Chains A and B, each alone.
Chain A
Amino acid sequence: MFGLANPTKFMRFSSILLPYLMAITLSLLITGMYMVWNAPEDYLQGPLSRILYIHAPAAYLAQGIYVFMALANFTGFIWRHPLADMAAKNAAPIGAVFTALTLLTGMMWGKPAWGTWWVWDARLTSLLVLFIIYLGYIAIWQVIEDQVKAARIATILVAVGLVNIPIIKFSVDWWNTLHQPASLIKTGGSSIHSSMLIALLIMFAAYTFLFVCLLFISVRTEINRRRARAFEMRVLQQNIQQVNQSTDAALNHKDQ
């Protein structure tokens, strides 16, 4: 794993791996979707229950990516591992998108099930707070120009978040029970049909691989961008030297 610290090695390694990862992701997604399509409907909710297969894996990634981000940031902080910080940075927007997807599918499910797009239910609210934490984290990387400094601040932020997220979750639960939530329909039965379970598991796997693919692509783009920027600065420096020489020539010409 530590061989990956070197960006050049990572580029080579990931370019070999990426096509396979994409193939696995695609086949998992297609299989999963097919199974979902053929899975029996929930007798209470009808076709609405199918949204669960999109919603639940997204919710798992929404939280999982945050933990991944924290681990990556700590790795970067402790072992001065530039690629780890880059992984954390690029995981954040992906995490935010999955969180948004969870929220949106939740709302789409909520409209027919609860009769309203949004309720301040404990789980939805916690997820919304997580979304905002993602946004703040992304903003830090964008606002701080120096990437090394940004990584340090991001690590602090993610550490504080890691301690705070359980507290937030707890307080939101407490707030919600305190306020006697609106009458909700209980979601899902206690027993899940086995074919549904398999479909759900495949979707979880598909999402996980999708995340890895996206992360690889994103980190590769970032490395290429940094290379391009370094190249730009070098060209600029060389050009100034050339112009300097011609300035010199012009000045000497005048002196004579």
Chain B
Amino acid sequence: MKINKISAQQLAAQKGERQLFENIGFELSSGQCLLLQGPNGSGKTTLLHMLAGAEKIETGKLEIIMAASPEPRIDGVFGISHFISHQNSLKANLTVYENLKFWTEFLGGEISKLDQALSTVGLAPMPHILAARLSAGQKKRLMLAKLLTISHPLWLLDEPSVSLDAEGQKLLTILMQNHLKAGGILIASSHIPLGVEFDQILSLDGGKYLFNDDYLLEEQNL
């Protein structure tokens, strides 16, 4: 499975009284990557959630054209994207192996790649350790193993380098490079360099308040 082109037009998001962003658009083709930038609270995670299908797209549209057919994909990103966030989606009471096996089976990956993936991220010798006993960085490595057992063409990574040590970040860089080389598409948010040259950069500026009562601010001398 390969994505030919993914394009977003006029995406907008609102949280409470705040317009996080509006009129966001981009277009990526096979092998390209996009970096999301912006201060905390500017909506990077929300945008990634929208792209992953976890949040409904109210305005604007997202179009995906697969290599197999010229028509836009009906299911959107359903079943073709990886979403890695600060939430680890690992169960403390399951072992390293069980956690990876579950997600691989559930998301339709290949069980045969499991051992190879674990040894790539450095967790191979102790697959039966409970995830509860892993450090934050080791957990992150386990999540990265998921990228290897299930080959989806679109990677959505939200601050993927968080809690990884220097070596772990290098591992991440290699994984991303290989993904792009294989024709995958990558959209990541990060505040530090990820070691990949991004083709496009999208800056979110922090949005605006919908009910902008300036006089209230003046009264408070703000």
Which residues of A come within 8 Å of B, CB atoms? 145, 229, 232-233, 235-236, 239-240, 242-244, 247-248, 250-251, 254
Contacts and interface: CB of A to CB of B under 8 A. Distances in A.
A247 B126 contact: no
B126 A240 contact: no
Nearest to A242: B122
Interface SS majority for chain A: helix
B167 A247 contact: yes
A120 B88 CA distance: 50
A9 B119 CA distance: 38
Contacts, number: 47
A243 B132 CA distance: 22
B170 A247 contact: yes
Interface in B42-94: 92
Given A240-B138, A243-B121, A235 B170 contact: no
From DSSP, what is the main secondary structure of chain B's interface residues? helix
A233 B96 CA distance: 13
B126 A236 contact: yes
Contacts of B121: 243
Question: Which 9 pairs, one residue from A and one from B, show the smallest C-beta to C-beta distance?
Answer: A243-B122, A244-B167, A240-B122, A236-B126, A239-B125, A247-B171, A232-B126, A235-B125, A247-B170
Contacts of A232: 126, 129
B123 A236 contact: yes
A145 B167 CA distance: 29
B174 A247 contact: yes
B167 to A, nearest CB: 4
Contacts of A247: 167, 170-171, 174
A32 to B, nearest CB: 43
Given A243-B121, A243-B122, A251 B174 contact: yes
B144 to A, nearest CB: 12
B120 to A, nearest CB: 8
Contacts of A250: 174
B107 interface: no
B20 to A, nearest CB: 36
A239 B171 contact: no
A247 B126 CA distance: 19
A143 B92 CA distance: 12
Given A236-B123, A240-B122, A240-B138, 17 more contacts: A232-B129, A233-B126, A235-B125, A236-B125, A239-B125, A240-B141, A240-B167, A242-B122, A243-B120, A244-B168, A244-B170, A244-B171, A247-B171, A248-B167, A251-B170, A251-B174, A254-B177
A180 B123 CA distance: 65
Nearest to B128: A232
